[in-house]
Structure 1
Amino acid sequence: MPAQRKPARVLAISNQKGGVGKTTTAINLGTALAAIGEKVLIVDMDPQGNASTGLGVPRETRRVTIYDVVVDGRSIQDAAVETLVPGLAIVPADADMSGVEIELSQADRRSYRLRDALRAHDLGMTPYDYVLIDCPPSLNLLTLNAMAAADAVLVPLQCEFFALEGLSQLMRTVDMVRQSLNPGLEIQGLVLTMYDRRSSLSGQVANDVRAHFGDKVYDSVIPRNVRVAEAPSFGKPALIYDLKCTGSQAYLKLARELVQRERKRLKHAA
């Protein structure tokens, strides 16, 4: 009898501050995980649909989206599309998502729509090891759905002056979600992004964050990198656009560190 596959580990990639690299991290961490042999699903919960665009899914081909899943009850299987990266699929988003708050205002289990869909998919023996949810940069029903569905939150944190301010806001949100929607939600880790080694400010922010959060902060640091910034305009993850650039290599290192952390967590839980 074949061994039972473990449920996918669901990580919400979230920070209520915009411009910190959430979508870039979702795309490139997902690609890097797939590159080292993991099966990954990205769920694009942002109405801008940038994760979908960045993975080469044109708007005109997004026939079933995350909107259809959370509003109309379509299955994750119906919505997931394979990307050009072997082992990586995405549930795309489009502008319809911006109306979800109003459309679900009176709905049952309005904050659990994504969780219910992912659990139904898991019962059907999901082929995925990781589900990465790309959250919008605000606290709204979409973010609450993501956090209610997640096992843990992965926080990209830009190395700039207001980083800790945005982080404290996110921590309050996580506490609120724990109390009201998802008692098991935890912080999986913090990823320092847009790090400029020539800048003393980047170094200071990194030191402050590590002083506050200790080993919750990943050793892997994502540098500012032009090739990573260029890649989405070609509909490709950085690792496909330019594997050898420093940004791509940093995301591969992050993926390996994430898998190592998860294996250690499972060992301790056993």
Structure 2
Amino acid sequence: MVNQKGGVGKTTTAVNLAAGLGFGGLSVLLVDLDPQGNASTAVGGEHRNEEPGTYEVLIEQENIADHVQVSEEAPNLKVLVATMDLAGAEIELVSVVSRETRLKRAIDAYLADNDVDYVIIDCPPSLGILTINAFVAAAELLIPIQCEYYALEGLTQLQRSISMVKANINPSLVLSTVLLTMYDGRTRLSSDVAEQVKQYFPEETMETIIPRSVRIAEAPSYGQTVITYQPASAGGQAYLAAAEELARRGAEQD
């Protein structure tokens, strides 16, 4: 999950798709790569008392299996939590050899011994070394785009970074999925932006659109996803539909 713009619903999308896939019977590993740790909070991961997680995996090269937590937010969901220690990782990794591949090596090692259907990586809102690690580790990118003014701003820079990683480190990386978020059907602006995004990404844009929803905004304050907080709400139903569509796309690819 990547978008260097903040406030586009990136973390919200990461945790709700992870939960939705888990409720669908799929095994999911959620990797929180954002020092703010919001994804960890949303799925009930303990990360406020310096619990080991992504930082130890990246900096100390410890095993994911030793630090992954079972989430009670959804069946079949595990989380590798992020703490504020991760904020210093950008500096600590500057002089490290092969620093861009540390997350990939850790995830590959974990997948070799654990049956996982989806690994979802929640990236920070930047294009620094943490996000580059995600680009190298990932096979596909999902970009949430909010249906608001300046929605496509910064995508050129993002695509340039993707092209750089494909050319130099991870040639198999693809931008496979775009999810429209914060859609307000009462405004012409949302409709115009949605149409613009579909023209820009005709194959990648998901059919499911996530509406602007008070319930989606409330859920994190209870340490939950909207899927468990208010599953019958418009937001809960939309994210369940998005998870189903994502799984269906994956099945068709397989």
Could you report, residue by residue, the CA deviation over 1:69-127 in whole angstroms, capped at 9, with x for unpaired residues?
A: 00001111112101112111110001101111211111121000000001111222x22
Residues in 1 aligned to 2:77 and 2:211: alpha-carbon distance in whole angstroms: 24
1:182 matches 2:188: no
Alignment RMSD: 1.1
Mapping of 1:101-250 within 5 angstroms? 101-124=90-113, 126-250=114-238
Could you report, residue by residue, the CA deviation over 1:211-232 in whole angstroms, capped at 9, with x for unpaired residues?
A: 1211210000000110111010
Once the two structures are TM-superposed, the CA of residue 57 in structure 1 deviates from its matched residue by: 2.2
Once the two structures are TM-superposed, the CA of residue 62 in structure 1 deviates from its matched residue by: 5.1
Task: Look up the match of 2:27.
Answer: 39
Higher alpha-carbon deviation: 54-63 or 220-229: 54-63
Could you report, residue by residue, the CA deviation over 1:148-169 in whole angstroms, capped at 9, with x for unpaired residues?
A: 0000100000011111122222
Runs of 4+ in 1 over 4 A off after TM superposition: none
Identity of aligned residues (%): 45
Where 2:30 maps in the other structure, the secondary structure is strand
TM-score by length of 1: 0.91
Q: Gaps (5+ residues) in structure 1? A: 1-12
Higher alpha-carbon deviation: 222-231 or 55-64: 55-64
Once the two structures are TM-superposed, the CA of residue 61 in structure 1 deviates from its matched residue by: 5.2
Could you report, residue by residue, the CA deviation over 1:14-36 in whole angstroms, capped at 9, with x for unpaired residues?
A: 01111100100011010001111
Amino acid of the structure 1 residue aligned with 2:206: Y
TM-score by length of 2: 0.97
Once the two structures are TM-superposed, the CA of residue 128 in structure 1 deviates from its matched residue by: 1.2
Could you report, residue by residue, the CA deviation over 1:196-222 in whole angstroms, capped at 9, with x for unpaired residues?
A: 000100000000111121121000000
Residues in 2 aligned to 1:27 and 1:199: alpha-carbon distance in whole angstroms: 27
Residues in 2 aligned to 1:127 and 1:199: alpha-carbon distance in whole angstroms: 44
Q: Is the 8 A contact 2:51 2:83 kept in 1?
A: no
Residues in 2 aligned to 1:107 and 1:167: alpha-carbon distance in whole angstroms: 29
